[in-house]
């Protein structure tokens, strides 16, 4: 029985019991007690997808605050995510059309809460040399200018780092945890405690979001490890390991969309220039099970220069080499090599190479979407897009503004993205475990329901089986899983179901993206259209059974699902209609929203 190695013991036990009961009630409720003592209804296997955002910033983040959000804190972010109305920094009322199921306020660890403390005249901060000097800048009329100069110089290593004392950092972190605890409601709404580690060596974006599974009894035993402590991901992973060892808790990290990393997000060497090793590969995949493939700063699935045969690869593409806008190399070959270290599909392909060479895959990650909003408003809807910073909130002038004072024209911002999580219940433990086993997927905003299973014995009839989910877990693996070694000439077979978001466009097609490594070491990819919407019946729901026609049992491979909607209005068009604007010719008017499943891998040596 090809049970994937990622299938948890609880799930295996549940589905076996489920099978013995003749699969009469696949969504039968169990009861589980959370750490807080709440009783939450559970299902035998994950029967529901939960929607949320693990990457939104409040006024506790230095950049969010300095670029105009001085009033919306974590509590406002949670209220907005739960569906309540809030007043945005620009003074307009903002509300989601549908609440989210979970949220993490991932404020930057570097100078976390310092600006809000200065604005509140916090005595603890004002007693430190840094707080005293920065307060003098503000009260003396110099304003934020010299503070910004010092901040950038210290974060980038140009001048020695100066930080508040640990007691201040601990008090701010406890405040973050207390707010997450206040808004966490097991079974109804999940609020994770976490933060962002903001590494950018030489202006290259290597940011990670750190997500804690635990409540305050464990998370208050630590304080955030920031890029001021180290900008090397390996040091962050060591911190995560130390946290788990000392608290017996659980934590993971999520790398950001790598399109501004200057080619080093999926590099062929470590940050300090050493070749990748099996230990590095195992450590990275251990602590970073998923990857943020899409967000407000562009989409990072694929690039047209790397995937010339993929007509859908050029989607919300950002071509800057790094977050400092370093000019791209003049040599096209160097540009392509750089991009291979930035885009998810290329990273997944590199992972196959290292799996063969090292026996471990550093780039074995699932796919999620996040907003990276710095307004405290976690919205990825084109018709309700609130931008990146205050200056890109809804207004008649935001198309002419710059993103937070940077150099990117505002029309380039992307209304993206959200994470779908298949879990048994809406609790920290269940959602975290699902993320860790990669049973998650990314969308660019629409809440498309997407489910996929892969196995060796599925048939066409299994798509309509009443016990579809239970059968998928028993006879195969879900998204994020690993298929065991093929025997007896078997080929992988996939069951795919996609359901449109009722508030978004119809589905147009479902594709399988396959990447594999040939016996000669060549990395290949191919896109298969496995189902197209019927022009007469529309694309409300698309289902597909697919067997790989070119499978070679000796070649490692990955498969992920891409679901495309029909083209729809981009947020720029909604702005033009809302404010009576004429869009410049270079501003896109339409886009084609999409969802990306986490991959399923085949390892010939498993």
- pLDDT of 244 strictly over 70: yes
**pLDDT (0 to 100) of residue 4:** 42
Is residue 39 scored above 60 in pLDDT? Answer: yes
Q: Kindly state the tokens that stand for 592.
A: 């084609």
Residue pair 53/419 in contact (Cβ under 8 Å)? The answer is yes
Q: How high is the mean pLDDT of the chain? A: 92
Read off the pLDDT of each residue in 533-542 and give the average, rounded to a whole number.
83
Percent of the chain with pLDDT over 90: 82
| Per-residue model confidence as pLDDT tens digits over 278-302 | 999 999 999 999 999 999 999 999 9
CA distance 504 to 81: 19
Closest residue by Cα to residue 455 from 480, 491, 488, 422: 491
Mean pLDDT over 352-372 rounds to 98
Confidence of residue 399 (pLDDT cuts 50, 70, 90): confident
pLDDT at 376 over 90: yes
pLDDT above 70 coverage of the chain, percent: 93
By CB neighbour count within 10 A (0-12 exposed, 13-18 middle, 19+ buried), where does 335 fall?
middle
Owner of token pair 């995949």: 285
Residue pair 42/424 in contact by the 8 Å Cβ criterion: yes
The span from the CA of 119 to the CA of 227, in Å, is 24
Please determine, for residue 173, whether its predicted confidence score (pLDDT) is greater than 50.
Answer: yes
CB atoms within 10 A of CB 550: 12
Residue 489 to residues 37, 456, 492, 547, Cα–Cα distance (Å): 50, 10, 10, 13
Both tokens of residue 473? 């877990």
Lowest mean pLDDT among 7-16, 381-390, 399-408, 529-538: 7-16
Is the Cβ–Cβ distance between 160 and 154 less than 8 Å? Answer: yes
* Residue 199 DSSP class: -
Structural tokens at position 529:
């259209």
Please check whether residue 82 is in contact with residue 99, taking contact to mean a CB–CB distance below 8 angstroms: yes
Does residue 379 have a pLDDT over 50?
yes
Which residue is listed with tokens 């009722």? Answer: 502
The pTM for the full model equals: 0.94
**b/e sequence 554-567, b meaning 16+ C-beta within 10 Å:** ebbbbbbbbbbbbe
Q: Report yes or no: 386 and 88 within 8 Å, Cβ to Cβ.
A: yes
Helix intervals (H) in 144-227: 145-155, 166-183, 216-219
């Amino acid at each position: 029985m090809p049970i994937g190695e990622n299938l948890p013991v609880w799930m295996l036990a549940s589905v076996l019991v489920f099978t013995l009961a003749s699969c009469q009630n696949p969504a039968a409720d169990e009861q589980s007690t959370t750490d807080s003592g709440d009783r939450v209804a559970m299902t035998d296997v994950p029967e529901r997808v939960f929607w949320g955002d693990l990457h939104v910033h409040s006024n506790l983040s230095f950049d969010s605050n300095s670029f105009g959000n001085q009033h919306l804190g974590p509590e406002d972010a949670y209220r907005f995510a739960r569906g309540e109305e809030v007043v945005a920094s620009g003074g307009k009322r903002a509300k989601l059309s549908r609440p989210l199921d979970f949220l993490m306020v991932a404020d930057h660890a570097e100078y976390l809460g310092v600006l809000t403390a200065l604005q509140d005249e916090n005595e603890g901060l004002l007693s430190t040399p840094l707080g005293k000097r920065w307060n003098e800048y503000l009260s003396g009329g110099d304003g934020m200018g010299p503070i910004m100069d010092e901040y950038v110089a210290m974060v980038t290593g140009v001048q020695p780092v100066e930080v508040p004392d640990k007691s201040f950092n601990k008090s701010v972190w406890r405040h973050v945890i207390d707010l997450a605890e206040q808004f966490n409601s097991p079974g109804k709404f999940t609020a994770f405690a976490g933060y962002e580690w903001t590494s950018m060596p030489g202006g290259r974006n290597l940011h990670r979001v750190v997500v804690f599974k635990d409540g305050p009894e464990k998370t208050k035993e630590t304080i955030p490890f920031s890029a001021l402590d180290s900008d090397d991901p390996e040091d962050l992973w060591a911190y995560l390991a130390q946290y788990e060892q000392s608290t017996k808790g659980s934590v993971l990290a999520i790398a950001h969309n790598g399109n501004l990393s200057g080619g080093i997000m999926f590099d062929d060497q470590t940050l300090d220039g050493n070749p990748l090793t099996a230990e590095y590969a195992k450590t990275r995949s251990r602590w970073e099970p998923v990857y943020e493939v899409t967000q407000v700063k562009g989409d990072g699935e694929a690039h047209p220069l790397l995937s010339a045969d993929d007509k859908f690869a050029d989607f919300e593409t950002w071509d800057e080499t790094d977050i400092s806008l370093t000019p791209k190399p003049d040599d096209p070959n160097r540009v392509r090599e750089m991009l291979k270290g930035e885009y998810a599909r290329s990273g997944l392909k590199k992972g196959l190479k290292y799996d063969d060479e090292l026996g471990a895959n550093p780039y074995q990650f699932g796919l999620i979407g996040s907003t990276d909003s710095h307004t405290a408003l976690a919205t990825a809807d084109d018709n309700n897009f609130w931008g990146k910073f205050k200056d890109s909130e809804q207004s008649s002038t935001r198309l002419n503004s710059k993103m937070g004072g940077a150099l990117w024209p505002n029309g380039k911002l992307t209304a993206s993205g959200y994470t779908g999580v298949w879990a048994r219940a809406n609790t920290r433990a269940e959602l975290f475990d699902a993320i860790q086993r990669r049973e998650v997927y990314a969308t660019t905003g629409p809440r498309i329901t997407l489910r996929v299973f892969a196995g060796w014995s599925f048939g066409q009839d299994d798509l309509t089986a009443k016990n579809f989910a239970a059968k998928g877990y028993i006879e195969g693996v879900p998204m994020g899983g690993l298929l065991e070694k093929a025997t007896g000439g078997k080929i992988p077979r996939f069951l795919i179901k996609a359901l449109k978001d009722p508030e978004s466009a119809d589905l147009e097609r479902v594709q399988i993206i396959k990447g594999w490594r040939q016996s000669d070491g060549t990395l290949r990819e191919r896109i298969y259209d496995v189902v197209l919407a019927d022009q007469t019946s529309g694309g409300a729901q698309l289902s597909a059974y697919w067997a790989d026609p070119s499978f070679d049992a000796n070649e490692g491979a990955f498969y992920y699902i891409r679901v495309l909607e029909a083209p729809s209005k981009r947020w720029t068009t909604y702005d033009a209609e809302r404010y009576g604007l004429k869009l410049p010719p270079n501003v896109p008017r339409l886009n084609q929203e999409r969802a990306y499943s986490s991959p399923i891998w085949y390892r010939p040596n498993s």
